[in-house]
């Protein structure tokens, strides 16, 4: 069975689906691995390094796509420079594993179904204990949480830690993290390592202990309604609850030097947590890093992909932060992918898509000409 690693054509995508170390393990397992020439270039993995790991380097991308049994990618497939769609290059019955953004862009799913490709979306890997090693949302969110703090620290015209010097004492920076999921918790840990005083808020009360164990203060808002949906994710909350949370968080935002927002509700636009009025109350020189910029932003002033200054406050809306750390992002993503691949091959090293496996079943978007995922079907209507 042939596994192929495509070169990413998305301009801001620097990650690669498999790194050489992981290729070596698959080759040792008896699998054939093709890597498109230059696929690892932007993440500092060279063609010779892949060759040394046992991969075959393929410079003809059409050949690589059309002869793959399992095609691995990071960003969703798109139109190539020659006007052909990457999806149309795949052979019928091939498997594509990638981030597919199937709820945000269900048309790709339709294309994959038309092409009779079996596609697995890394966004749809269930957040269960058994699927932890395949959980690319978590591995990449953690990188984003870390990097968000470094970006904030670089933009803040102040120190993060408390310093006692001969020239006087410097008070530590106050950081407020909104949304304490995977990215938020990593942001808390990173800000604490840099010596900041950290507060965090989330509508899921269960995260209180995790926040406190990282040395941050949990800002609690008691809500009347259930805030947790299936799988441990947050639910969209009512207007009354939104208002209640805004009243509480406003004071914390006002007193913070840095606000990092990470709040998301799966399948929905990012919740609006920071209003213009709240930004207007912040001290000049303060910084907001909005990790939900691509999903509409948690802050009313965010412009995706831009750094803006609004009333003296710097508001940063980064896009694809994991890609800015392509070495470790690719390393972790490779591990996520290889764990998933193990579920798709049988003892004879042949492809076997078993929908009896709950992870394969949950992650599969299209198979045999059908869109299997109901939420994606609904998103198409």
Minimum distance from residue 188 beta carbon to ligand NAD (Å): 12
Say how far apart CA 137 and CA 145 lie, in whole Å. 12
Residue among 152 and 263 whose Cβ is closer to ligand NAD: 263
Minimum distance from residue 59 beta carbon to ligand NAD (Å): 37
Residue that the structure tokens 């052909």 belong to = 84
Say how far apart CA 268 and CA 378 lie, in whole Å. 13
Residue that the structure tokens 């303060």 belong to = 286
Residue among 69 and 202 whose Cβ is closer to ligand NAD: 202
Residue among 35 and 188 whose Cβ is closer to ligand NAD: 188
For 330, left (φ over 0), alpha (ψ -120 to 50), or beta? Answer: alpha
Angle between helices 136-155 and 326-341 (to 10 degrees): 170
Residue among 27 and 221 whose Cβ is closer to ligand NAD: 221
Count the Cβ atoms, other than its own, within 10 Å of residue 354. Answer: 11
The side-by-side arrangement of strands in the sheet containing 95-98 is: 56-58, 32-36, 2-5, 70-72, 95-98, 118-121, 364-367, 370-371
Residue among 63 and 204 whose Cβ is closer to ligand NAD: 204
Known catalytic residues are: 127, 132, 135, 138, 233
Minimum distance from residue 200 beta carbon to ligand NAD (Å): 9
Minimum distance from residue 165 beta carbon to ligand NAD (Å): 37
Residue among 80 and 127 whose Cβ is closer to ligand NAD: 127
Minimum distance from residue 294 beta carbon to ligand NAD (Å): 12
Minimum distance from residue 130 beta carbon to ligand NAD (Å): 9
Residue among 232 and 305 whose Cβ is closer to ligand NAD: 232
Say how far apart CA 86 and CA 71 lie, in whole Å. 11
Q: Which residue, judged by CB position, is nearest to ligand NAD in the bound state?
A: 181
Count the Cβ atoms, other than its own, within 10 Å of residue 63. Answer: 14
Say how far apart CA 116 and CA 61 lie, in whole Å. 20
Minimum distance from residue 291 beta carbon to ligand NAD (Å): 9
Residue among 132 and 281 whose Cβ is closer to ligand NAD: 132
Q: Using only C-alpha atoms, what is the Rg of the chain? A: 22
Minimum distance from residue 333 beta carbon to ligand NAD (Å): 15
Q: What residues make contact with ligand NAD under the rule CB under 6 A?
A: 127-129, 132, 135, 137-138, 141, 178-184, 201-204, 232-234, 237, 262-266, 271, 273
């Amino acid at each position: 069975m042939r596994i192929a690693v495509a070169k990413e054509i998305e301009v801001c995508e620097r990650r690669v689906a498999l790194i050489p170390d992981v290729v070596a393990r698959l080759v040792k397992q008896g699998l054939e691995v093709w890597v498109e020439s230059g696929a690892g270039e932007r993440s500092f993995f060279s063609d010779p390094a892949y060759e040394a790991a046992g991969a075959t380097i393929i410079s003809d991308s059409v050949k690589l796509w059309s002869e793959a049994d399992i095609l691995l990618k990071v960003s969703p497939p798109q139109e190539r420079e020659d006007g052909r769609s990457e999806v149309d290059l795949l052979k019928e019955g091939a498997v594509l594993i990638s981030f597919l953004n199937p709820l945000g862009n269900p048309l790709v799913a339709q294309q994959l179904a038309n092409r009779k490709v079996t596609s697995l979306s890394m966004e749809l890997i269930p957040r269960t204990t058994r699927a932890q090693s395949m959980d690319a949302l978590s591995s990449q969110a953690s990188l984003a949480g870390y990097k968000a703090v470094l970006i904030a620290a670089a933009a803040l015209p102040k120190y993060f830690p408390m310093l006692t010097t001969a020239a006087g004492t410097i008070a530590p920076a106050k950081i407020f993290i909104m949304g304490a999921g995977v990215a938020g918790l990593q942001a808390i840990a990173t800000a604490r390592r840099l010596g900041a005083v950290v507060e965090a808020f989330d509508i899921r009360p269960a995260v209180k202990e995790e926040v406190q164990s990282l040395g941050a203060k949990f800002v609690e808002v008691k809500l009347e309604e259930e805030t947790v949906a299936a799988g441990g994710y947050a639910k969209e909350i009512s207007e009354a609850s939104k208002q209640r949370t805004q009243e509480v968080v406003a004071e914390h935002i006002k007193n913070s030097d840095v606000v990092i927002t990470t709040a998301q509700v799966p399948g929905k636009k990012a919740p609006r947590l920071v209003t213009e009025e709240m930004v207007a109350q912040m001290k000049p020189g303060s910084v907001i890093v909005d990790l939900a910029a691509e999903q509409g932003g948690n802050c009313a002033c965010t412009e995706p992909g831009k750094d803006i200054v609004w009333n003296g406050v710097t508001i940063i809306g980064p896009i694809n932060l994991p890609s800015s750390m392509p070495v470790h992002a690719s390393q972790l993503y490779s591990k996520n992918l290889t764990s998933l691949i193990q579920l798709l091959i049988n003892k004879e090293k042949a492809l076997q898509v078993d929908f009896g496996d709950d992870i394969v079943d949950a992650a599969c978007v299209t198979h045999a000409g059908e869109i299997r995922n109901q939420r994606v079907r609904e998103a198409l209507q």
